[in-house]
Structure 1
Amino acid sequence: MRWSFLCLMACVPLLAQQLQLDPLAKPAPSSNMSAALTDPTLSPGVAFLYQLEARFAQETARGGGKAFASWFADDGVTLANGKAPVRGRAAIAAQATWDPKDYQLTWTPQGGQLSPSGDMGYTWGHYEGRAKDHNGNPVTTSGRYLTIWKRQPDGSWKVALESSSDEPPSAGDCCKLP
């Protein structure tokens, strides 16, 4: 009995520390992340990162580019396919000006890892952007993304680097000659 009590007392600070690190104790996952968030095979660290992704995606869906940019660290970087790097949250915000009524960006994590020290991690997965062209026709872009997360000195988590690239060619399309 005493051993159980001592084990419980030793675990309480660790649990309290984890709860302080997790600002998303009760996330409301977006529909495209529900399956990922409920996957019982995820490690606690990856589940935590997926919760960050869910909140990031939800706020971006509601607030568009402004909300997207708010998730970046002051020195965060974006790397987009075929574009120059964008460095710093202010520069990212200056370029991320889309309104969610005009452009919807969604993404789903497919993998990730939290560092052993618990202060950095990454997620990767599939994204999709939906808009309409000048004639009102639907336009969809899709591809892969990588997000590197970093815990800030105040305990919050911010995006240190986000990278995206176009969807890879369909199987068999890679080797066709023109």
Structure 2
Amino acid sequence: MRCLLSLAVIFCFSAISLTAQNFPLPASSSSADPLSPPPSTTANPLEQPTLSPGVILLMELDGRFEKAVEEGGGKAFASWFANDAVILSNGKPAVMGHTAITEQSHWDPKAYQLTWAPEGAQMGPSNEMGFTWGHYEGRSKDKNGQPVVISGRYFTVWKKLPSGDWKVALEASADAPPTSGECCTLPKP
């Protein structure tokens, strides 16, 4: 019984502490701790216990985008981009505009599977632009039928169009870092 009472007291103090961290008192309050730093005027979404509606929207958009591409391949990929969108890929020239993106996005999902998982997002103050980021993976087979897997990080900037639709304004990706030991291997002469 004494153990349960102790756990209840610890839980209550933890809840009060978390509430105080997430909802600091104004500096003018007489009960504010004079030794603690002043409360920030901008919230860091990574420190918040819950996600804002804007972040949830961006994560949902990113998930719907990924699902559409998984099912529809390159054609579905291109359909998510704004007319003035840009793609920046590792070691390749920028692809600018919806037309150019469509011309380069012609893979069949049966031959190449591009999947990704968002790890985070931030919505801008106007709620009309934001970004997501995460890890991607591309799977295909080489000419001998052997599996080929590429992976890396991605960053997607989303913008809300005047119609209310959300489209990709910028998509950037970079290859995954080398596995341990690959960074120090010198090419053979």
Pick the TM interval, shorter chain: 0.7 to 0.9
Aligned to 2:78: 69
Counterpart residue identity of residue 177, structure 2: P
Supply the distance in 1 between the matched residues of 2:56 and 2:69 (Cα, whole angstroms).
20
Aligned to 1:152: 161
CA RMSD of aligned residues (A): 1.4
Aligned to 2:52: 43
Supply the distance in 1 between the matched residues of 2:104 and 2:172 (Cα, whole angstroms).
15
Give deviations 1:66-112, integer Å, cap 9, x for gaps.
Answer: 00000000010100111000001110010011000000000001111
- Following superposition, the deviation at residue 172 of structure 1 comes to 6.4
Which of 51, 72, 87 is the matching residue for 1:78?
A: 87
Q: Give % identity.
A: 61
Stretches of 4+ moved more than 3 A in 1? 170-174
- Unpaired stretches in structure 1, ≥5 consecutive residues: 1-39
Aligned to 1:143: 152
Q: What is the TM-score with the length of structure 1 in the denominator?
A: 0.74
Matched, 1:89 2:114: no
- Following superposition, the deviation at residue 168 of structure 1 comes to 1.5
Q: Secondary structure at the match of 2:106?
A: coil
Supply the distance in 2 between the matched residues of 1:173 and 1:129 (Cα, whole angstroms).
20
Counterpart residue identity of residue 126, structure 1: H
Give deviations 1:19-67, integer Å, cap 9, x for gaps.
Answer: xxxxxxxxxxxxxxxxxxxxx7322211110100111011111110000
Supply the distance in 2 between the matched residues of 1:116 and 1:168 (Cα, whole angstroms).
33
Which of 101, 118, 129 is the matching residue for 1:109?
A: 118
- Unpaired stretches in structure 2, ≥5 consecutive residues: 1-48
Paired residues in the alignment total 138
- Following superposition, the deviation at residue 173 of structure 1 comes to 5.2
Supply the distance in 2 between the matched residues of 1:121 and 1:73 (Cα, whole angstroms).
14
Supply the distance in 1 between the matched residues of 2:66 and 2:154 (Cα, whole angstroms).
13
Q: What is the TM-score with the length of structure 2 in the denominator?
A: 0.70
Counterpart residue identity of residue 97, structure 1: H
Aligned to 2:25: none
Structure of higher CA gyration radius: 2
